[in-house]
Amino acid sequence: MKRREFIKLGVGAAANSWSYAAQAQQSSMPVIGFLSARSPSEAASVLRAFQDGLGEHGYFEGKNVEFEYRWAEGRYDRLPELAIELAVRQVNVIAATGGDPSPLAAKLASTTIPVVFTMGGDPIKAGLVTSLNRPGGNITGSTLMGVELGPKRLELIRQLIPKATTISFLVNPNFPQTASEVQEVEAGAHALGIKISVLPASTEGEIEKAFENIAQQGADAMIIGTDPFLLSRRDQLARLAIGHALPTMSHLREFVVAGGLISYGPSIIAAYRQAGSYTGLILKGAKPADLPVLQPTKFDLAINLKTAKALGLTVTSTILGLADEVIE
């Protein structure tokens, strides 16, 4: 969606909601607007992590804080209107989660309501903050650095499958960071002498079709993009990967738990817990401009040996020695 259309949609939604705002009764408890590009069923674990972080500062849902939930369920075009709804509701803080589209929508919805984000890209390049140490404005949060780790994931899958010459890269073309991520992975592939075949998929049906095309491309493995929609389809991806005898590399252990082969990246649970903690600090009076954007300091390698066996792969002792988590 173009920025001009994005803003137009937000303004229109706001205009249609002013009457609601005038009639709404303000709660005696602070209200957190939880804006997510994901869906409630598959994001339950990260929501618990957010609430745990919030609880570190004495805030508990239904006891002394309320939540207003807005789930886009993988449809990023819904986020601008959902963010406007929260702004009109005059929530105390917006927790913009589930990837880069959520904080981008929240930024356009309000320049005064504090926003705490979780995202995978660079918040400076995205225009969310002016610097990591001193964000400025009304926005702060944490980044998973998902895009920057693409070449490293490529190196690891090559170590696991040394003879791999062609690797498919499954991406969602609607995700804002996809172009940057493809560039990073293609640069890494060029250095390793690997051919990258980009497969776009933004719906369940397109994911099925992408796997059908893999046999024609002769791919030796697949890297899964950092898009939140693809994360929400991790069970489907694991099933299809096994069915097509295709090793997969992803950015979060959640894929490996679902049955994917290998992952390398930070803890998304830790990022959400930190977002909850920042939200608690803001409710106590802290300003987003004074809370530095946090980056992960630890990256974990997870391997599913059951999946490796099903794919007929032998995981070397070298790879096992690097692994932080082995699922058997």
**Looking at the predicted structure, is the pLDDT value of residue 269 above 60?**
yes
**Looking at the predicted structure, is the pLDDT value of residue 12 above 80?**
no
Residue 132: CB atoms within 10 A of its CB come to 15
**Looking at the predicted structure, is the pLDDT value of residue 16 above 70?**
no
pLDDT at 66: 97
pLDDT at 214: 83
**Looking at the predicted structure, is the pLDDT value of residue 5 above 70?**
no
**Looking at the predicted structure, is the pLDDT value of residue 6 above 80?**
no
Could you tell me what percentage of the chain is helix, strand and coil, using 3-state DSSP and rounding each to the nearest 5?
A: 45, 20, 35
**Looking at the predicted structure, is the pLDDT value of residue 15 above 80?**
no
**Looking at the predicted structure, is the pLDDT value of residue 195 above 80?**
yes
- Residue-wise pLDDT for 78-119, tens only, equals 999 999 999 999 999 999 999 899 999 999 999 999 999 999
Q: How sure is the predictor about 20, in pLDDT bands with cuts at 50, 70 and 90?
A: very low
Q: Greater confidence, 27 or 87?
A: 87
**Looking at the predicted structure, is the pLDDT value of residue 248 above 60?**
yes
What would the mean pLDDT of 241-262 be, rounded to a whole number?
95
Give the whole-angstrom CA distance, residue 187 versus residue 194. 10
Give the whole-angstrom CA distance, residue 141 versus residue 266. 15
pLDDT at 61: 97
pLDDT at 7: 41
* Closest to 274 in 3D by CA, of 255, 296, 253: 296
pLDDT at 175: 92
Looking at the chain, the whole-number percentage of residues with pLDDT higher than 70 is 92
Give the whole-angstrom CA distance, residue 37 versus residue 242. 27
Tell me the pLDDT of the chain averaged across its residues: 90
Looking from the CA of 182 toward its CB, the CA atoms found within 13 Å total 16
DSSP 8-class letter at 76: G
> pTM of the entire structure?
0.87
